[in-house]
Structure 1
Amino acid sequence: MKKEFVVIGLGRFGGSIVNELIALKADVMAIDISPERVEEFAQIATTAVAADTTDESALRSLGIRNFEHVVVAIGENIQASILTTLILKEVGVKKITVKAQNDYHEKVLRKIGADQVVHPERDMGKRIANNMVSNNILDYLELSDEYSIVEIRANEKIAGSTLIDLDIRAKYGVNIVAIKRQTQILVSPQAIEEIELNDILIVIGSDVDIHTFERKALH
């Protein structure tokens, strides 16, 4: 059975989510207050609707509570984002993900019941910055304010060593939860696993410990 989603707000962020969900074979209702934007997605989304989502009766008429996950990707209008989230919560939507403009916006969204709050511009900025400062860090995913998962490429300094040789958890406080090796993915690798040159190490830990590991073990 296909998963069903609603995306409210069809700017760059919301539009990219619609495109990706459709590519993943999900059913998507795309909603925006602008008929022009809705027209752009009429041939892409499963359903595209022009509606004011701060109007509770409009949302109810669309059967919004029947969808398992709603993404509120409204751009600059913080008031509309908050009101829409509040109404979605009141009508009984199970899961609500909302794009936040700033930390204050996030605090309000969490207080009124948003299940997940994202800062796409801030988070992308962090990923790009982390990739820029190190040739070894390939990708970066923030888990919280202090913890992340990163992809780190194994270089000549650690290639040929086993995980037990490196003793990474004891020395740096981080864990290697998987290793990508060409077309293989080794999940929860054994301590005797020997790291090969250009392996991609999936590392989880605090930001401080990850950067210490990357700086001391790979340079």
Structure 2
Amino acid sequence: MKMTQFVIVGLGRFGSSIGRELVLLGNEVLGVDRDEEKVQELSSVLTHTVVADATEEEVLRSVGARNFDCGIVAIGDDIQASILAAILLKELGVKKVVAKAVSELHGRVLERLGVDRVIYPERDMGVRLAHQLVSPNLLDYIEISKKYTIAEMEVPSCLTGKSLANVNPRGRYGCSVVAINKPKGMIIAPNADDVLTEKDVMVVIGTNEQIEQFQNSIRR
């Protein structure tokens, strides 16, 4: 797999978490922050770190930001700095720009600037946790768009021993089981004859409404 190069602007909790994981996944990561202490803390973790103000065009030019495959704006506490950094990364020609937003308005501004993907960490985590709290079978819940969701659901006792043909989530609710994680391994694209057991985890994709209907039908 080709190593991808990332530049992360802002090394707070969000930016440092992304950076650590990207390095673990075998990628090259440059971290940029004005806070010398944060930069020093990650200097032995990330590929490169720089103490600099990423809202200045010359700074981003000097670190070669335009040569990176993806720029991540992880600034959360300074909306003006976040917007300026995103603008500069886009103008410098970074192939893909991802930015953290702290509010809907902040996100809309970033989208209008042409940011390729806007992330709302606090909001998205809140949505996922709420769904997990009200649905005992739900292990994870990820919105892949405003309409579609991927959910991981623990198989309840009411479905144990039943085949996917018996459960028929697509026919009854419109959602599809695209994988089953069994103790012995993952089954990708399971067929109608695959039988569910109590320790299985179903990976289901569908609209938000379809997923909710399926959840309600199997709720303990």
Mark the runs of 5 or more structure 2 residues left unpaired by the alignment: none
- Once the 2 structures are TM-superposed, how far is the Cα of residue 57 of structure 1 from its aligned partner? 1.0
8 Å CA contact 2:156–2:218 kept in 1: the answer is no
- Once the 2 structures are TM-superposed, how far is the Cα of residue 146 of structure 1 from its aligned partner? 2.9
Which ranges of 4 or more aligned residues in structure 1 deviate by more than 4 Å? none
- The AA in structure 1 aligned to 2:211 is I
Query: Matches of residues 176-215 of structure 1 in structure 2 within 5 Å?
Result: 176-215=177-216
Provide the C-alpha distance between the structure 2 equivalents of 1:67 and 1:144, rounded to a whole number of angstroms.
Answer: 26
Tell me which residue corresponds to 1:44: 45
Per-residue Cα deviation, 1:20-71 (whole angstroms, up to 9, x for no partner): 1122222110100112211111111111101111111110111101110111
Tell me which residue corresponds to 1:150: 151
CA RMSD of aligned residues (A): 1.2
Provide the C-alpha distance between the structure 2 equivalents of 1:119 and 1:183, rounded to a whole number of angstroms.
Answer: 35
Query: Matches of residues 6-155 of structure 1 in structure 2 within 5 Å?
Result: 6-155=7-156
Greater Cα offset, 158-167 or 85-94: 158-167
8 Å CA contact 1:157–1:218 kept in 2: the answer is no
8 Å CA contact 2:8–2:74 kept in 1: the answer is yes
1:3 lines up with 2:4 in the alignment: yes
- The AA in structure 2 aligned to 1:2 is M
8 Å CA contact 1:178–1:186 kept in 2: the answer is yes
- Once the 2 structures are TM-superposed, how far is the Cα of residue 188 of structure 1 from its aligned partner? 1.0
8 Å CA contact 2:135–2:219 kept in 1: the answer is no
Provide the C-alpha distance between the structure 2 equivalents of 1:80 and 1:183, rounded to a whole number of angstroms.
Answer: 48
Provide the C-alpha distance between the structure 2 equivalents of 1:156 and 1:58, rounded to a whole number of angstroms.
Answer: 58
Provide the C-alpha distance between the structure 1 equivalents of 2:103 and 2:148, rounded to a whole number of angstroms.
Answer: 20
Q: Provide the secondary structure at the position in 1 that maps to 2:71.
A: strand
Provide the C-alpha distance between the structure 1 equivalents of 2:219 and 2:136, rounded to a whole number of angstroms.
Answer: 10
- Once the 2 structures are TM-superposed, how far is the Cα of residue 214 of structure 1 from its aligned partner? 1.3
Q: Please, what TM-score do these two structures have when normalized by structure 1?
A: 0.96
Mark the runs of 5 or more structure 1 residues left unpaired by the alignment: none
Greater Cα offset, 35-44 or 107-116: 35-44
**Percent identical across equivalent pairs?**
42
